[in-house]
Structure 1
Amino acid sequence: MSKIDDIRQRHAARKKGIKSFSGRQSETIKSHGTSSQRPDHDLNSVHPLFRTQSFIIKCMIAIVLILVVAIIDKQQGATFDQTKHVVQQTLNRDVNFTKLSSWYEDTFGSSPVAFFPSLTDQDQAKKTTGQGAKKQEADYAVPVSGQVSESFSTQTNGILMATKPGSAVTAVKSGTVISIENKEGIGKTVIIQHNNAESWYGKMDGVKVKPYEFVQQGQKIGSVKKDQDQERGTFYFALKNGDHFVDPIQVISFD
């Protein structure tokens, strides 16, 4: 065999080896590329609690309702007066935070974090065992220590109590504070909602609660404001059932 033939054979063998190595490398790259790709369903997956179509439909319904209310508000005539009245009553109606809290606890097993503080360990134990809480909530408690100085009337919608200045005022029943504001004739007033009822505490000073706070029966919510003579305090109290005020003396025993 000549030297030229020997060189040709070695060149052919080397070329064959290079092709074999290139083929194996290509297969390795393909296999890694296939395994590293994410499945199509992962890329297109949607959060199980979010439905795009349902969200869009709800947004469209909300927009339509807003447009309808705006159109009705701009219309004149007796035909639309009744509809306007119903819409205004609905918008002015207070949210029943007590029922909302009860529904939330029954559904999710705990108090709403954003609106209501969590129960203490003692209160949670009472709620779990059912001892004490139900018995305590059976009746309304007396809001302050004192004597009734002015009976209920339709003009005042409540009663006045003579007491010591700075006397502690407590919640007559568990509920949610829905308002703290100054009202004409009764000064700073705290309103607590109890399902369909409300308790009003007027002529207050040093309020210890905040709006949308859940309070327990007997919890201190503030103190009685001093009168001008500084020798006594006058406390205003009212009970509201639905849309009507009722005589607290018929519900609570002020002995």
Structure 2
Amino acid sequence: MRSRADEVRKRIENRKREKERMSKNLNNRFLWPEEEEKYGFDKVTTFEGGHEEKSHPLFKKEIFVFKILFSAALVLVLAILFRNDSPTLDPTRSFITKTMENEFQFAFVSNWYEKQFGKPLAILPFNHSDKEKDKSDGNEGEYAMPASGKILEQFSSNGQRVAIETSKEATVDAMEEGLVSFVGTKDGFGRTVIIQHPDKSESWYGNLAQVEVDPYDFIEKGDIVGKASDSKDGEKGEFYFAIKKGDDFIDPIQVIKFE
């Protein structure tokens, strides 16, 4: 009798386990809708970190470590390259030095991007509607006068710039739209602002008493760059102006008409 009762209990336990297994399979097969799906929205997949998860699915530790090691190796190779005085490495050193000294042409890249895709780069904040308005006025291709005045020192005197006499505390304007690539002091120019333009040229505004822009500002043609310094007698204003294309300065009179 006891063996018969034990057998019946075993059958009942087996049936319970079988029902539990089947119910789990059904729950896994038929997924109930989430709250978002009940109201017609797509299900939002989220990542909730816990003790069992070792890393975020969008972060790969191996790639991060590889980038660090690669950067360290690159720095080490450059250090060895420039500390080694071997003449055979001179061309490589010269190429690296020239590459590092060249400024990235943000203005040129922005202009190319806009022509290709119709919108300016988001990292360059300027009013696109105002820019289109300026172009529609028919002034595209013409440079703006940095300031009204007369030339005191010709380009031939130094081969880099001209000196322009203006009224006292006159504002100095950008001759063309572009990106401010430098704000500081330059030899022979004093306090200077350099603007990169989409055609890869640069305009330099020196001997400024006051600067109204910051590095990496994207400004439009005619925007105020700064204010001219006082002349020696204190009755007039004076600033320096230069245009650079590639590695050479050109005479600004070739592209802008002064008084």
Pairwise same-fold verdict (TM > 0.5): yes
- Distance in 2, matches of 1:189 and 1:210, equals 11
Residues 209 and 16 of structure 1: CA distance in aligned 2, closer, same or farther (over 3 Å): same
Q: Does 1:219 align with 2:231?
A: no
For residue 160 of structure 2, what is the aligned residue in structure 1?
157
CA distance 1:54–1:101, shift in 2 (3 Å): farther
Mapped partners of 1:93, 1:67: distance in 2:
22
Q: Which of 102, 111, 116 is 2:120 aligned to?
A: 111
* Structure 1 residue 230 displacement after superposition: 2.6
> Letter of the aligned partner of 2:179 in structure 1?
T
> Equivalents in 1 of 2:14, 2:248: separation in Å?
95
TM-score of the aligned structures, taking structure 1 as reference length: 0.74
Task: Find the counterpart in structure 1 of residue 24 from structure 2.
Answer: 29
Q: Name the residue aligned to 2:129.
A: 121
Q: Residues 86 and 18 (structure 1 numbering): CA distance in 2 closer, same or farther, change over 3 Å?
A: closer
| 1:233-254 superposed Cα distances (whole Å, 9 cap, x missing partner) | 1111111111111111122111
Hey, what does 2:38 align to over in structure 1? none
Task: State whether residues 152 and 164 of structure 2, in contact with CA within 8 Å, keep that contact through their aligned partners in structure 1.
Answer: yes
In the alignment, what sits opposite 2:186? 183
Q: Distance in 2 between matches of 1:154 and 1:85?
A: 31
Are the structure 2 counterparts of residues 79 and 181 from structure 1 closer, same or farther at C-alpha, using a change threshold of 3 Å? same
Instruction: Report percent identity of matched pairs.
Output: 33
Structure 2 counterparts to residues 5-16 of structure 1, below 5 A: none
Paired residues of 2:120 and 2:128 also in contact (CA < 8 A): no
* Shift in CA distance, 62/100, structure 1 to aligned 2, threshold 3 Å: farther
Q: Contact conserved, 1:162 with 1:233, CA < 8 A, in 2?
A: yes
Could you list the runs of 5+ residues in structure 1 that have no partner in the other structure? 1-11, 37-45
Partner of 1:42: none
| Structure 2: distance between partners of 1:191 and 1:19 | 85
Stretch deviating more after TM superposition (168-177 or 136-145): 136-145
Count of matched residue pairs: 233
Q: Which of residues 158, 165, 170 is equivalent to 1:167?
A: 170
Match of 1:141 in 2: 144
| Residue 96 (1) aligns with residue 118 (2) | no
On the 8 A contact 2:229/2:239 being kept in 1, the answer is yes
**One of 45, 67, 80 as aligned partner of 2:89:** 80
Cα deviation for residue 25 of structure 1 reads 3.7
Structure 2: state its 5+ residue gaps. 1-6, 32-56
Q: Does 1:253 align with 2:257?
A: yes
Let me know the Cα RMSD of the aligned residues: 3.8
AA of the residue aligned to 2:90: D
What's the TM-score once normalised by structure 2's chain length? 0.73
Q: Is the 8 A contact 1:141 1:217 kept in 2?
A: yes
Residues 132-158 of structure 1: per-residue CA shift (max 9 Å, x gap): 3xx423132211011111111352611
**Would the aligned equivalents of 1:172 and 1:217 in 2 still touch at CA under 8 Å?**
yes
Aligned letter for 1:138? Answer: G
Counterpart selection for 2:196 from 188, 193, 206 = 193
CA distance in 1, matches of 2:222, 2:178: 11
Indicate how the Cα distance of structure 1 residues 57 and 26 shifts in structure 2: closer, same or farther if over 3 A, else same.
Answer: closer
Is contact 1:137–1:174 with CA below 8 Å preserved after alignment? Answer: no
Cα deviation, residue 200, structure 1: 0.7
- Larger gyration radius, structure 1 or structure 2: 1
